Structure 1
Amino acid sequence: MSDTSPTGPMAEAFEAQRDRLRAVAYRMLGSHADAEDVVQEAWLRLSRQDAATIHNLAGWLTTVVGRISLDVLRSRQARPEASYDARLSELVVTLDDSPAPEEDAVLVDSVGLALLVVLESLGPSERLAFVLHDLFAVPFDEVGQILGKSTAATKMLASRARRKVQTIERPTGIGREQREVVQAFLAAARRGDFEELLRVLDPEVKLTVDTPSGVVVTLGATKVAVGAQLSAGSAAQGRAVLVNGLPGIISWREDGTPLSVVAFTVVDGRITDITVVVDPAKLALMDLPDPA
């Protein structure tokens, strides 16, 4: 989508809303690229609008972004191949420098992989009702106008979505505790300590690996522990990172090219989910830090 170099008072007012609109679109769509496209389309529509007819710019833009996002979600339903797994390359990787407690609190509030996966399972109307009302405090009557539904029907949609979202196991002990569990797992894998691996893995742990040939899922602590032992020595060097706010590690080969990005979800002192990207094409799309 082409950019239009926004200028003037209308553009300044839009720019003041851009970050919030991008956040709304990202929570709706789970894709940074799609969110940017939606925000750009909202600007194009605003630039063609008579400013005198808009009495509440923030509300008008939220409505426009909501409607565009709803159209994108509905088009995805018609194209089921546009799945969440295809967007695993959009993991956000930053160096983990053991942030201060107040920064850890921000990580707890961030929307991580688990919530994005659950949102992906919601119908378009449920997702819009939940995201706009519960995450961005848009009144139900305004959400209903976007959906073409009554306020009561919109409340029911949000309530259904809320029940599904509440099934997520919230990571606990983000910060030092969580990092210590991950470090214990990595150390046990390097030593080949099978019993210690089983101790830090949840019995029903899920391992998702994004490979060049597709996404491979492994379930259960025993299988994941065996795999961890076998792959422990493949990296020349590794570095602690945060992956979408979760503790993780990035590994490089001897020539400095990225080997893998790994994210861990820790609940009640055990690892419940591990997400690994080893597909070189997807690693190349990430904005990854350089080896230390």
Structure 2
Amino acid sequence: MTTGTGPQDALAGAFEEQRGRLVAVAHRMLGSRADAEDAVQEAWLRLARQDPAGIDNLGGWLTTVVGRVCLDVLRARRIRPEAPYDDRLPELVVSQDEEGAPEDGALLAESVGLALLVVLDTLRPTERLAFVLHDMFAVPFEDIGRILGRSPDAAKMLASRARRKVQGGSPRPAAERQRQRAVVDAFLAAARAGDFEGLMRVLDPDVTWRSFSGRGEVVRVGAAEVAVRAQRGARAAVTTRSALIDGEPGIVVWGPSGRVMGVMACTVADGRIVEVLSVSDPERLAAMDLPAHPGPDPSGH
């Protein structure tokens, strides 16, 4: 999209100024960058058919349109259970996880964490829209009500109901994160040592490992099966580095050439790993824009 001097070019330029915010809104609403881009593109197509003179507040108009498009997508997902959204790999945000580092609230807010994503997906579409727009983007309830076709009080009630459901998915205190990191570190140490019993001690009996490679998704269930898989993977000549993967303790893996080979996120509950999500698909890794090999890990991994 290019800018120029005509009315349509001016409109396109004004839209581009709003694009980043609109994609962010849609991404939190839908949990998918691709779906968010599609929703924003639909908003542009609708804007291009409008008379700009009839739009008093372009930002508000676009937020309304994107919100309604996202609402339609969320409702369609519920109507088509044969293609469940939670079968798709969530888009992962990778950040440093250094001992003693302060909570990076801004970065965590940018991420739709694994646990939060699951909770958001249980909300009704209207609840999700009200919560995301108000709590994450400070959109007034009056504007949210217009998007939903409801009163501001009704929109406020929807957001409040959603907030109660989501509270369990909010970022954890630093002390809790450190305890969870210790569990993941114990898992990695046991895997490298080939310590099957050590692995079993930190794995929940019903742990699930979802791995995404270029060949597709593989799901392993049960502590014994996951422990055997972890032992095999630890024999590879790789370098690992602690990281936060969507707010969960995990690792980034580099091969001997310095190329990123994978990321792994672990969900810890009651001192044991209950879920592992790993990605080794080169295309997905490339989309994460991960750094090149950073050198030795001061933690010894």
TM range, smaller chain: 0.7 to 0.9
- Normalised by the length of structure 2, the TM-score is 0.76
Q: Secondary structure at the match of 2:104?
A: helix
Report the counterpart of residue 216 of structure 1 in structure 2: 219
Report the counterpart of residue 135 of structure 1 in structure 2: 136
Deviation at 1:202, TM superposition (A): 5.7
Q: Secondary structure at the match of 1:90?
A: coil
Q: State which drifts further: 167-176 or 26-35.
A: 167-176
Percentage of pairs with the same residue: 59
Report the counterpart of residue 299 of structure 2 in structure 1: none
| C-alpha separation in 1, matches of 2:201 and 2:107 | 26
Q: CA distance change for structure 1 residues 55 and 281 in 2, over 3 Å: closer, same or farther?
A: closer
Report the counterpart of residue 75 of structure 1 in structure 2: 76
Report the counterpart of residue 50 of structure 1 in structure 2: 51
| C-alpha separation in 1, matches of 2:257 and 2:31 | 33
Q: How does 1:1-292 map to 2 (within 5 A)?
A: 4-7=1-4, 8-88=9-89, 90-93=91-94, 96=96, 98=98, 101-102=101-102, 104-109=104-109, 110-168=111-169, 170-173=171-174, 179-194=181-196, 196-198=198-200, 200-201=202-203, 205-210=207-212, 212=215, 214-216=217-219, 218=221, 224-234=226-236, 236-251=238-253, 259-266=261-268, 271-278=273-280, 282-283=284-285, 287-291=289-293
Per-residue Cα deviation, 1:203-254 (whole angstroms, up to 9, x for no partner): 76543333645451525x5664454334422454434444334442233566
Q: Secondary structure at the match of 1:91?
A: coil
| C-alpha separation in 1, matches of 2:237 and 2:70 | 40
Q: State which drifts further: 226-235 or 58-67.
A: 226-235
**Structure 2 unaligned regions, length at least 5:** 295-301
- Normalised by the length of structure 1, the TM-score is 0.78
Q: CA distance change for structure 1 residues 100 and 62 in 2, over 3 Å: closer, same or farther?
A: farther
| C-alpha separation in 2, matches of 1:75 and 1:35 | 15
Per-residue Cα deviation, 1:12-34 (whole angstroms, up to 9, x for no partner): 43333222211110011111011
Q: How many residues align?
A: 287
Point out which structure has higher relative CO (alpha carbons under 8 A, 6+ apart): 1
* AA partner of residue 221 (structure 2): T
Q: Secondary structure at the match of 2:169?
A: coil
Deviation at 1:65, TM superposition (A): 0.8
Aligned Cα root-mean-square deviation (Å) = 3.5
